[in-house]
Structure 1
Amino acid sequence: MQRVFNRLKKVTHKADLPWEVHLIDNHQWNAFTIGGGKVFVYTGLFKGKLAVRSDDELAAILAHEIAHVNARHASEKQGKLMLSKLLDKKLRSAAYEASFTTNQEDEADKYSVIYSALAGYKPSAGAEIWARMHKQLGSDSKDRLHDHPLNADKAKSLTRYAKLAEQYYHSGKINKNYKTLLTNNAVFFHQGESTLKAGEGGGFLALFETLGNAYVEAEKAKQEQRKRGL
């Protein structure tokens, strides 16, 4: 795990963070981050029918958590939720807040395929994990608050992003052009400008952009609620 993590952290947008990865003895299939470069992995990821099967799959999971750190999702979520709730009173519910998080999950998926590919890990590994998850558990995890995309949807979107990132993948080798590709690649430009750059201009323009992003993500969250019948 440390070996895979060390290669990934070299090719991220914030390689200078004090990155750490820790293994927790817990049967759950899960990994998470508290920000600041700290990533935690449960031992449950390596056990049972859903166990991680290769370095590529482990890289997909670690890259996803690294992406959450780089995009500042923990702090960003609260600000955007406040703005979106001001825009629409109907969005003031726990179910909506969880659906809003699915937007961040999708964004982390986009970055994760790039990080994996640039570090020399197969970018399609994440899609393979979630396709297996869907086969074993179905599409909906039945999580009460639905704070992750449906398994089938996640597999499909990761497959789409991985195809775009495949051109940067050299098995077992860090792409020598990784610094340029972090800000200029088919995944980000296919989906729109990298959100890691959004709002950095400051002033009124940054505020306008933030409000626009909050509105777009609010609409996505509404779609997620409708999809689940909430």
Structure 2
Amino acid sequence: MIRRLMTLGAAAGFAISLSACASTNMEARVVGDRPMDLSTTEASLWYQTDQAEERLRASGRTVEDPALNAFVHGLICEISGPFCADLRLYVVDTPDFNASMAPNGMAVVNTGLLIRAETVDELAFVLGHEFVHFEENHFLERHAAIRNANITSSILGSALAAAGGGAFTSLTSLAAYSGAANFSQDQESEADSKGLDYAVAAGYSATAGAEIWSHFLAELSASDLDAVRNRRGGGILGTHPHIERRIEDLTAQAETLPSPEQDQASYRALIRPHLHTWLADHVVRQDHGATLVLIDRLSEQGTDLGVLLNARGRVLVLRGDEGDTEEALETFQTAATHDDAPADVWRSMAEIHRQAGRHADAAAAFQSYLDRAPDARDRALIESLIIDLTGTSS
């Protein structure tokens, strides 16, 4: 038994050492970099990302707003300098808080990032963070680390099975993968630090990095979903540093760097044409706690309140906790006092009145909806409801 434990212990140590034995460090890329040896794993990854880019172009998920695309592309160029020519921007319609720059130069910015950034400075920090991943070849380094972990796990699977390792096999495999994951922690910290430096060098505020992470942490903490709340701690293998630690590190770094005043108004003006649609994408995810935190934070600027309060009311209706329906009605009524309130506000009020048996109020609200949306797709249905509620045609 002792001999068997010694064998298993030696194997575990071998797992950790083997997972780090093949170097995964790569030099920073130079402008115009592409793999020359087409037989390498690196070339294969470039080919795969080229294919992914073609699929993205044909997916219908990109936001075709020339002004928005030009602005974000210009910001990427400010951050990346001479690497701008290597990068191709795609704004992708998805509510996830993310951006990325693939090894082949495909730069993806999600609408979920654009709606969460309150200023150009915050967006510049995230783009700086992603540019560091691109410049330092982190994607390729991480792939090499995971490949090493896979090799280690495969070798140990055979060795430990022969030694009667049983459940211990999974633990040593986990150790191998953890070696790759810990390396990724270093990458993320490097991307935060250098990314902030790049953003500041381009003239943006040093406080923006800690601020956007603080905003996102508040969302994660308020989420209704355990899996989302757990993201604040980096996950089981620690592939990302704790968000609290990232905020602390970025705050400390910012103390020695310039932090000019940030302009919320101009950035909001940039995304305003899409605010209603992007908020709707978050509402339908039904992570009510996180979405309410996002909406309430965006409302603090005191603009776009018709759109924002409409989204807030919809979240309350979907959540349906005690008192939510009454609060939702009050929220819609307040939204209706703002010039930017979408027609959906009156439709939502009508539904609440109808379910409560207030037929006259429901009919009036439905008619107000049709007046504001004469080409509504559901016009025939609403007109039928008005007849049922009042006995007269609209």
> TM-score normalised by the shorter chain: which range applies?
0.5 to 0.7
Larger Rg belongs to? 2
The answer as to whether partners of 1:8 and 1:119 remain within 8 angstroms in 2 is: no
Instruction: Give the 5 Å matches for 1:122-141.
Output: 122-138=205-221, 140-141=230-231
Give the 3-state SS of the residue equivalent to 1:166 in structure 2.
coil
**In 2, distance between residues paired with 1:46 and 1:170?**
19
How far is 1:171 from its partner?
7.9
Instruction: Give the 5 Å matches for 1:72-221.
Output: 72-79=137-144, 82=148, 92-138=175-221, 140-141=230-231, 143-166=235-258
How far is 1:55 from its partner?
0.6
Structural RMSD (CA): 3.2
In the alignment, residue 9 of structure 1 is paired with which amino acid? Answer: C
How far is 1:123 from its partner?
1.9
**TM-score (ref. length: structure 2):** 0.37
Counterpart in the other structure of 1:18: 86
**In 1, distance between residues paired with 2:73 and 2:213?**
20
Pick one of 31, 54, 58 that aligns with 2:123: 58
The answer as to whether partners of 2:206 and 2:257 remain within 8 angstroms in 1 is: yes
* Percent of residue pairs identical: 27
Give the 3-state SS of the residue equivalent to 2:258 in structure 1.
helix
Uncovered stretches (5+) of structure 2, i.e. residues with no partner: 1-67, 157-171, 222-228, 264-394
Give the 3-state SS of the residue equivalent to 1:15 in structure 2.
helix
**TM-score (ref. length: structure 1):** 0.59
Higher relative contact order (CA 8 A, sep 6+): 1
Q: Which moved more, 1:1-10 or 1:152-161?
A: 1-10
Counterpart in the other structure of 1:186: none
Give the 3-state SS of the residue equivalent to 2:255 in structure 1.
helix
Give the 3-state SS of the residue equivalent to 2:83 in structure 1.
coil
Give the 3-state SS of the residue equivalent to 1:93 in structure 2.
helix
Uncovered stretches (5+) of structure 1, i.e. residues with no partner: 173-230
Aligned residues: 165
Structure that is richer in helix per residue: 2
Could you report, residue by residue, the CA deviation over 1:136-195 in whole angstroms, capped at 9, with x for unpaired residues?
32485163443211110111111122223328x7989xxxxxxxxxxxxxxxxxxxxxxx
**In 2, distance between residues paired with 1:148 and 1:64?**
13
